[in-house]
Amino acid sequence: MEKFHTFTGLVAPMDRANVDTDAIIPKQFLKSIKRSGFGQNLFDEWRYLDHGEPGMDPAQRQPNPDFVLNQPRYQAAQILLARANFGCGSSREHAPWSLQDYGFRVIVAPSFADIFFNNCFKIGLLPIILDSAILDRLFEEVKLNIGYSLTVDLENQMVITPSKEAFNFEVDSFRKHCLLNGLDEIGLTLQHAEKIKQFEQKRRTEQPWLFA
């Protein structure tokens, strides 16, 4: 998992509440357990005018010109501004996978659905909770300023605007440690690789019938 320290990225505004996981990545694309390849179908039903199915070439489809991610000013955005209860609905892990595969590294919202929120941290996608009034201001600033970027300082737990105004956010200390050090669940386990090896060697000696 990629380490997360301080990150600056272009912001895209998703100005809708209760965006559910089926909108983030529709059910017909949930046919793989790999974490890659989902970005091209992120928000598929909103992003395209035609119905999407696995294997379709995005270049041959009909993009919706009114959808935010299809607008030229938001191309290559890596920070998503969202509204309340982002990621609600079914608990599919593919939802944060598709956001990350598209290129997002941070999602800022006033609230998230619990399972989606937890799944984000597992892959190094940082969900940040800020007050609704702050989000209102950020949405307005993004609207008025093409190329609007935010800086996220995880160590100091701050979101910093281009005018250097800073907003503090909370993050669990263990999750912060994992993000700063690039540790997913496998990485955490491998920190104890030598102890695991010693345990298995001892067990092979004491309980050889398990390995027959």
Rg (CA), the chain: 20
Residues of the chain with CATH 3.20.19.10: 6-181
Other CB atoms closer than 10 Å to residue 58's CB: what's the count? 13
CATH class of the domain defined by 6-181: alpha beta
- Sequential pLDDT tens for the chain (212 residues): 999 999 999 999 999 999 999 999 999 999 877 878 999 999 999 999 999 999 999 999 999 999 999 999 999 999 999 999 999 998 899 999 999 999 999 999 999 999 999 999 999 999 999 999 999 999 999 999 999 999 999 999 999 999 999 999 999 999 999 999 998 877 777 777 788 888 888 888 888 888 87
Strands 6-13 vs 149-153: parallel, antiparallel or unpaired: antiparallel
